[in-house]
Amino acid sequence: MVAYADQAGFDQLREWLSQRCGITFAPSKTDLLRQRMDRVLRRFNLPDLNRLAQELNKTGAQEVQLAVLHAASINHTYFFREIEVLDQFMDLALPELQTRPEFRFWSAASSTGEEAYTLAIMLASRLGVSALNRTHILGTDISDPVVERAELGIFPRRQFSQTDPQVVQRWFQPTGIDQYRVAPELRKVCTFRRMNLKATPYPFTRPFQAVFCRNVLYYFDRADQAATVNALYDVVEPGGWLVTSVTESVRQLGTLWEPVATGLYRRRS
């Protein structure tokens, strides 16, 4: 194992991330976390992680703290990711929901917004564009920069690697070189806000019919995973849905969620 002169600072950073937002980097991910923190060191012209750890705890250190949170939470995403899970959700949930006066979905780790916009496209494709008039999709993420990008709604071509070209043509407008802007019909139904999933209970007064919490739980340790999915349970209506990724199971966390299929769970009616 490589010995680093700033190991103490690295350990403090890892503990700070775990305590602040539940993001856990196992020893096997040491190199990944160091690579991500290198960006923060360069931005603030800091010599090493010992100094960065000191800066985190200074009064008025919000800019540094947000930069560390953003760098640590970066996650590659794209439109129609793990489409088999989303298709199965639509197949099972829409027959029950399609007559409801509104759709209320929450993309609980929305990154730059691809998941939220994907859900809007799928609803419009299955139920008609008029369904968007009764659709409200909230996207939240812990990182301010990615929330701002989601609100902007402009995406590079690489984000559409799993998207049918006809879907891109219908729902996105070319803007700039190899960039596309989301159509206004989608933009108006998706709202994005900054939110820390570890800050429970969640501040919602009306329940959601479905929460999508995909490709984020594996960043948390087991205790934070259980706390998060239990908090999600409390903001979903009876009979509502939790959608995770195919690699994230909540079956062993001792929660009330009832498994339906891979990546799909329901709250008891």
Contact 229/250 with Cβ under 8 angstroms?
yes
Partners of residue 82 on adjacent β-strands: none
Percent of the chain with pLDDT over 70: 98
- Segment 112-122 shows an average pLDDT of 97
Residue 1 pLDDT greater than 60, yes or no: no
3-state secondary structure 41-94: HHHHCCCCHHHHHHHHCCCCCHHHHHHHHHHHHCCCCCCCCCHHHHHHHHHHHH
Residue 63 pLDDT greater than 90, yes or no: no
Residue 2, pLDDT score = 62
More confident residue, 1 or 222: 222
Residue 153, pLDDT score = 97
Residue 181, pLDDT score = 98
Go through the domains of the chain in sequence order and give each one's CATH number: 7-73 (1.10.155.10), 83-266 (3.40.50.150)
- Segment 185-213 shows an average pLDDT of 96
Mean pLDDT of the chain: 91
Q: What is the pTM of this model?
A: 0.83
Residue 69 pLDDT greater than 90, yes or no: no
Residue 213 pLDDT greater than 70, yes or no: yes
The closest alpha carbon to 151, from 192, 208, 98, 202, belongs to: 192
Q: What is the pLDDT of residues 78-104, one digit of tens each?
A: 999 999 999 999 999 999 999 999 999
Residue 39, pLDDT score = 87
Residue 19, pLDDT score = 82
Residue 45 pLDDT greater than 90, yes or no: yes
Residue 160 pLDDT greater than 90, yes or no: yes
- Segment 172-191 shows an average pLDDT of 96
